[in-house]
Structure 1
Amino acid sequence: MTTRGSYASPITRTNRKIKQITDQTRKTTLGVTLAIVGALLLTPDTLLMRLSQLDGWNMLIWRGSLSGAAYLIIWGMLDGWKSLSKITSLNFSILLCCQLLNAVFFSLAIALAPVVIVLIGVATVPVFAALLSRLILNEPLSKLTLMTAFVVLSGLSISLLGHDIDRATISEKNVIGLLLGLGVAFALAMNFTMIRKDQDAPFVLAMALGAMCAAGVGYLCAEKIQWLPVMNMLSIGLTGICILPLSFVALSYAARNVKSSTVSLIMLSETVLGPLWVWWGVGESPNRMMLIGGTVVLAAIAAFIVLERRNDALESA
């Protein structure tokens, strides 16, 4: 005998299914939109770093301290004290370490090796994200993601060959720079994956504390604190207070709604668009190979976004 409420009519089941599909589509759209906004916000970062003319350790000091303060303000506005009860969790500690390692590894890598070597390592972040999602979240390895990651890596390789790579010979420093670049990629991928795993963890607070710890490392290692002319300090102030916090908060919130590998792939568009800001700001024009490689990367990411959304819609249906 069927009791009242135990039977759902075909129309009710259909409406529920439509609602599920609609909710998933909205969630995916929000995640992709936030990832695109975050990546675009991050694109002027390279230009502002160049304009500041700070050395590596001072870059870490100023970027870490300023962005840490901005993260704290954002955390207070979004989460506030109600999330403090969750800072003793393992996931929060992992997020904090990811932020610390990301900042320190990137500064050390840039100080040791040519940028081209470091970027090759950082460009592997989608691969790490796909593998970590499989291991930690048990999400299947998407053939589309892996194929897109391969195309993006190929496009970045073409683009990077357009840079001056005369110094990119095999040496101990360059090998260490590459390994540190891989460390940055792993830290970023782990960060996005853990945010997707534990959506209650106060990740913005973890970013704030991690950035401040990174600034502390820079302070301990720097020979002296640099205070350059006003325009130089305005450049580092803009990237520290606005660019880094807004972009990484957007990217991190995106990771709550879509796969970390998707966020990582979209984020790599910054590697291509960043040099265009440098071209506009300091006159370092990209050559043909850089433009070809950048076009391949952007086209691959655009195709991936369209196909991934279509696949999500089909799976929901």
Structure 2
Amino acid sequence: MSHRRAVLLMILVTLMWSTAGVVTRHLEAARSFEVTFWRSAFNALSLIALLRWLRGPGLWAQLLAAPRLVWWSGLCWAAMFTAFMVAITLASVATVLVTMALGPLLTALFSRLFLHHKLPGRTWAAIALATLGIAWMFGHEADAGGLKGVLVALLVPLAAATNWTLLQRVTHGAADPEKPAAGQDMLPAVLIGALLSAAITLPLAWPLQASAHDLGLLAFLGLVQLAIPCLLVVRLSRVLPAPEIALLGQLEVIFGVLWTWVGAGEAPSGAVLVGGAIVLAALAGNELLALRRR
């Protein structure tokens, strides 16, 4: 695959990821944990079908024989799936996406704290700047009553950073904190995460109230917004370096805000725009300097 084609496919991945907010805003009856349950359940069903097509009937045997790290990673995916959908029922989509943009910087920080990887000065500066942006948003969202959603959304980048740190521990070449397990096959862990998320949220979602209209939209999220992009990212990680994937992945923030602004009339607040601009500037500056150095 050429580099140009890989970049275009990665942009397509971010477009698919970014549809969660606007689709959720058009649900009729499903709310909170029920939204999480159906999205995770449809994601699991989609991954089972796709992985059986790719790997044959031995999927379940491979899953049961997976090392312990894969199951720990699955727990992280379950936390990410659950916290994201709950967060966008408590706060604006823009607020949740900006908070999630902390993921790559938290991964670098966790690598320093737990794996003793040396971080360049530009990464420390980016972490400080991003923290300033989130603090700015925190202060204004607390006044607007959206602090609970921000706190729940923070679980997503924290779980993601934990996930990548676990994988770095056993991945060849993991001494470079800017390449967090780029070649690791994460699909079994994603399937475990989807199954766990659905199982955990089912009791909290009962009694189920989703209409046929809602089930159609949530099936779209499970297949198009999660399962297919996961398959594509695994393939693209063989072509694109991890910093480039991280940088392109932040297009989800821009696309997601635009989707909900145009498709659901949810305009981001001034505080979210300012805080998001600071976070994205910190992340983009760090990744662009890394690419230039390479």
Q: Give the partner amino acid of 2:126.
A: T
The reply to whether residue 271 of structure 1 matches residue 271 of structure 2 is: no
Q: Distance in 2 between matches of 1:224 and 1:85?
A: 31
- Tell me the TM-score normalised to structure 2 length: 0.73
Instruction: Please tell me whether the aligned partners of residues 37 and 197 of structure 2 are also in contact (alpha carbons under 8 angstroms).
Output: yes
Q: Of 190, 195, 204, which residue of structure 1 is paired with 2:187? A: 204
Instruction: Please tell me whether the aligned partners of residues 101 and 157 of structure 2 are also in contact (alpha carbons under 8 angstroms).
Output: yes
Q: Distance in 2 between matches of 1:262 and 1:93?
A: 27
Partner residue of 2:197? 214
Q: Distance in 2 between matches of 1:39 and 1:239?
A: 13
Partner residue of 1:39? 14
Partner residue of 1:236? 218
Q: Distance in 1 between matches of 2:200 and 2:48?
A: 19
Secondary structure of the 1:102 match is: helix
Partner residue of 2:178? none
The reply to whether residue 192 of structure 1 matches residue 175 of structure 2 is: no
TM-aligned CA distance change 1:298 to 1:254, over 3 Å: farther
Instruction: Give the unaligned 5+ runs of structure 1.
Output: 1-25, 313-317
Cα distance, 1:49 vs structure 2: 1.4
Instruction: Please tell me whether the aligned partners of residues 122 and 182 of structure 1 are also in contact (alpha carbons under 8 angstroms).
Output: yes
CA RMSD of aligned residues (A): 3.9
Q: Distance in 1 between matches of 2:219 and 2:107?
A: 30
Cα distance, 1:63 vs structure 2: 0.4
Q: Distance in 1 between matches of 2:161 and 2:6?
A: 16
TM-aligned CA distance change 1:127 to 1:305, over 3 Å: closer
Cα distance, 1:265 vs structure 2: 5.6
Q: Distance in 2 between matches of 1:110 and 1:269?
A: 18
* 1:1-317 correspondence runs (5 A): 36-53=11-28, 54-80=30-56, 81=58, 84=62, 87-110=65-88, 113-115=90-92, 122-134=100-112, 139-155=117-133, 166-168=144-146, 174=148, 179-195=151-167, 197-198=170-171, 202-230=185-213, 232-251=214-233, 258-259=241-242, 266-286=248-268, 290-291=272-273, 293-312=275-294
Cα distance, 1:185 vs structure 2: 1.7
TM-aligned CA distance change 1:194 to 1:39, over 3 Å: farther
Secondary structure of the 1:182 match is: helix
Q: Distance in 1 between matches of 2:276 and 2:40?
A: 29
Cα distance, 1:129 vs structure 2: 0.5
Instruction: Please tell me whether the aligned partners of residues 37 and 250 of structure 1 are also in contact (alpha carbons under 8 angstroms).
Output: no
Secondary structure of the 1:51 match is: coil
Residues 34-73 of structure 1, C-alpha deviations (whole Å, 9 max, x = no match) = 6654333311211011112421111111101111122223
Q: Distance in 2 between matches of 1:31 and 1:137?
A: 30
Partner residue of 1:10? none
Q: Distance in 2 between matches of 1:267 and 1:127?
A: 13
TM-aligned CA distance change 1:269 to 1:148, over 3 Å: farther
Instruction: Please tell me whether the aligned partners of residues 109 and 118 of structure 1 are also in contact (alpha carbons under 8 angstroms).
Output: yes
Secondary structure of the 2:144 match is: coil
Q: Distance in 1 between matches of 2:9 and 2:162?
A: 19
Cα distance, 1:293 vs structure 2: 4.9
Q: Distance in 1 between matches of 2:105 and 2:158?
A: 9
Instruction: Give the unaligned 5+ runs of structure 2.
Output: 172-180
Secondary structure of the 1:52 match is: coil
Instruction: Please tell me whether the aligned partners of residues 60 and 215 of structure 1 are also in contact (alpha carbons under 8 angstroms).
Output: yes
- Tell me the TM-score normalised to structure 1 length: 0.69
Cα distance, 1:136 vs structure 2: 6.0
Residues 215-273 of structure 1, C-alpha deviations (whole Å, 9 max, x = no match) = 1222112231123252x3332221111111233444455667645x7755654442343
Cα distance, 1:292 vs structure 2: 5.1
Figure out how many residues of one structure are paired with residues of the other and give that number. Answer: 277
Structure number with greater Rg is 1
